[in-house]
Every structure is written in structure tokens, then in C-alpha cells.
Amino acid sequence: MIKIVINGSTSGLGRVLAEYYSGLGFELICLGKNKTKMSKLKKKINNNNFFFTGDLSNNKNLKKLKLDLSKIDKISAVIHCMGGGFGLKDNLLSKKNFFELFDKNLFIQSEINNLLIKKNLKNKSKLKIIHISSIASIESTASVGYSTVKAALNVYSNILSKKFISKNIDVKNIILGAFETKDNSFARLKKKNLKAYKKFKNTRMPLKRYNSADEIIPVVDFLLDEKSKIISGDIIVDNKEKTSFRN
């Protein structure tokens, strides 16, 4: 049985991936902060999966999660969909706000990675780690805080991949352009400011439409496959509807 940790499974791309891989019969470890959304996910997918609900920026919750993960054998992959700007758009961010963004977009993921990498090295088992980043990390088109922390995630992922690929720990990073789910940032923009939503679509998207989360699934499928090992250390970039590989 393939076991996959999906960090940020209660909304956006994480929710789409949880439903997809559950449908394939994979055993999932679903992580999420919102109790209501997690309850809906439980009803939607196989209840034989493991569900952890809690704000991982709370050290007590993170410690509990790490203890739970340490008891689960043969985890073969982790997909980190957790992160965001969390409304912190000030150009002159305080140290406190910068730390919050780094914590939720990088530090928590690294804590989970550290645990699983050490565990899999000890057991001499293979592990796939996939981070979801943003094109803003390259183009600097979003807020100062969000663009900065996603750029840091890119570097972290790239270095980690080079350090551990020879030990069967395969780390990848997907830098996504604009895409839309039922409840992600572009779905919220559509409700809040339809004019801005349409302007972005018509001026920034060559096909004059947003990508869907379903269109990202084949990329994730490939990265989970052993054949993707050949591009370890590369960054997979969805650059305004075009997919490319950068080293």
C-alpha cells in the first residue's frame, strides 16, 4: 500500500490531490487546520485514511503530529500544499509577520521533512518529497513577503534534492502559475473583484483562462513515479501555461 502525506489537504490543490489519490486506493495521511473542512474531507474520501487536524504553527500541534508520523510505517511520499500570503501584503513587513510567513511556507515543511528523511534513511527506504511553490517567487509579482518566502522555498528544495538523491530521497519543487480551484485565492478574487479576476486572466494567461487543479495532477503523478528521478535537482515551472524544467 502506497502511503502519502498531503500537507494542506483541506482546501485548494491539496484537497483535489487528496480526493484523487484516495480514489486510486492510496493510503493518505491528511493534514489540515480547519476542523469543518477536514470533516467534509473525511466524508468525501475513504475513512481508513489518517487525519490530523491542527494549526501546525502551534508548536504543541506540530510536536503531536511528528509523534504520530513517527509511528506510521512505510510513508513513501509527502506533498506540501500548505502555505500562502495570509493577508500580509505590507511592503514593510515586521519581523513578526515575516517569521509567520516563513513558518507557514517553509519552517513547518522542513520539520516534517527532517523527521521523514531521518526515518527513511534509517530504514533504507525510498521517499518522495514534493513542494508546491509559486511563479511569484521568480517573477516577484506578488507581495514582498509571499514572493520572498516562496523564493526561499525554491532554494531549500533545490539544495535538499542534491544532498539526498544518492540516498533515495527524491525532492522536487513545482513552481505554479495561476490556477483556480473552488476555494483558492483566484476563486476568492473572482467573488471579491470580478473585474480584476478577468483582467488578470485576459492579460496574463495566454489561453485566456486559468489552469485547473486537475491539470496539475499529471505533473504530480509523474514526480511520484520512479522515472522522474532523472530530473532530481530541477525545478518544474508552470510559466503562464508553459511547463519547463530549470536547474
Which tens digits make up the pLDDT trace of 182-228? 877 787 778 888 898 888 888 877 778 888 888 899 999 999 998 88
Q: What is the pTM of this model?
A: 0.89
C-alpha–C-alpha distance, residues 85 and 14, integer Å: 16
Residue 177, pLDDT > 90, answer no
C-alpha–C-alpha distance, residues 38 and 32, integer Å: 7
H-helix or E-strand spanning residue 13: helix 12-23
Cα-based angle 44, 47, 51 (whole degrees, multiple of 5): 95
Cα-based angle 125, 215, 42 (whole degrees, multiple of 5): 65
pLDDT computed for residue 233 by the predictor: 65
Looking at 54-193, list the stretches that DSSP marks H as alpha helix, in order from N- to C-terminal side: 59-70, 95-102, 108-123, 136-139, 144-164, 185-192
pLDDT computed for residue 241 by the predictor: 40
Mean pLDDT for the stretch of residues 150-175: 94
pLDDT computed for residue 238 by the predictor: 64
pLDDT computed for residue 243 by the predictor: 41
Residue 244, pLDDT > 50, answer no
Task: For the domain made up of 3-179+213-246, give the CATH fold.
Answer: Rossmann fold (3.40.50)
**Residue 203 burial (C-beta neighbours within 10 Å; 0-12, 13-18, 19+):** exposed
**Which is more confident, 81 or 247?**
81
CA dihedral for 17, 22, 25, 28, sign (positive or negative)? positive
C-alpha–C-alpha distance, residues 140 and 117, integer Å: 31
Residue 235, pLDDT > 80, answer no
- Residue-wise pLDDT for 9-46, tens only, equals 999 999 999 999 999 999 999 999 999 999 999 999 97
